[in-house]
Amino acid sequence: MKQRTIAETVSCIGTGLHSGQPVQLTLRPAPVDTGVVFTRTDRAHHTLIRMSPSAVQSTRRSTTLGYGEVTVSTVEHLCSALFGLGIDNVRADVDGPELPIMDGSAAPFVYLLRSAGLVKQSAARRVLRIRRPLEIREGDRSIRIEPARAFRVKYAVEFDHPAIGRQVFRVDAPDKEHFERELSAARTFGFLREVQSLRKAGFARGGSLANTVVLDEKQVVNAEGLRWPDEFVRHKVLDLYGDLAVLGLPIQARIKVERGGHALHHRLVEAIVDHPEAWSIEDPDSREPRGLDFLPAPAPA
């Protein structure tokens, strides 16, 4: 298993989900052990933000990464695509504070990355292997990670809404094709009754039926309907992939989630960081013990 990057530079233009502002995203190849680095090209000196657990500044309605006062938000769908396709090293240049929402799923980013081409690099992929369970409970919400021979997920959601109810999705044989086929096109969703309050709070100003599955009190409002009957839980799994991506490594573990979301996902990431005795990093090239902060800081732009 070798590290991967993209073969060519690719770009897209879209609208920020929460800001409602136009934004351009450019993805560039990056050397071995770079990880994922976001560059705010609209800021002086092109401020760099390396994706890592310590860079997570907010999980309210989306995942926001930052360095000092400079942030980039709604990164989870791109990060999910990188995690699902097994891409380790890439530089993401963005000319605003938020990534484009595209159609509300990871599929446009998968298309962009596939268009760029995926290439293997000289160094082996390091793997985060969970060696003992960690669990977080918040009332009827919970997330647990435990040892397993491969990456496995069981995710459950439950909403008091006739179009959702209880949905459960399992990932038992994950690979790039499974992610593209079963998860990448699952869209973000929201409730019509929340739109006014969200916009007053500064969220969802770029939200529309083109990038969000919207529900009224009884049904899905979007004329085209759902892509899967259980699209809601599939999108939660997609978000989980993107939130776990901040660890910077593929994961060997089984994860069980009940009624999760960005905040609960990142509480698990924090627990992993805080409990180094619960995991190890396997490095086929050196076999040296390493922590989650081993990647070198990116060079200045």
Which are the catalytic amino acids?
262
Q: CA-CA distance, 57 to 34, in Å (whole number)? A: 21
What's the token pair of residue 126?
A: 């390091």
- Report helix angle 262-274 to 231-244, nearest 10: 30
* Nearest in space to 47 (alpha carbons), one of 70, 64, 24, 27: 70
Spatial distance between the Cα atoms of 250 and 146, rounded to a whole number of angstroms = 15
From CA 190, how far away is CA 184, in angstroms rounded? Answer: 18
The C-alpha atoms of residue 138 and residue 141 are separated, in whole angstroms, by 5
**Alpha-carbon gap, residue 295 to 286, rounded angstroms:** 14
Decide: 87 and 118 in contact? Cβ < 8 Å: yes
CA angle (31 as vertex; 29, 32 as ends), nearest 5: 130
Compute the CA torsion angle 118, 96, 222, 85 (nearest 10 deg).
20
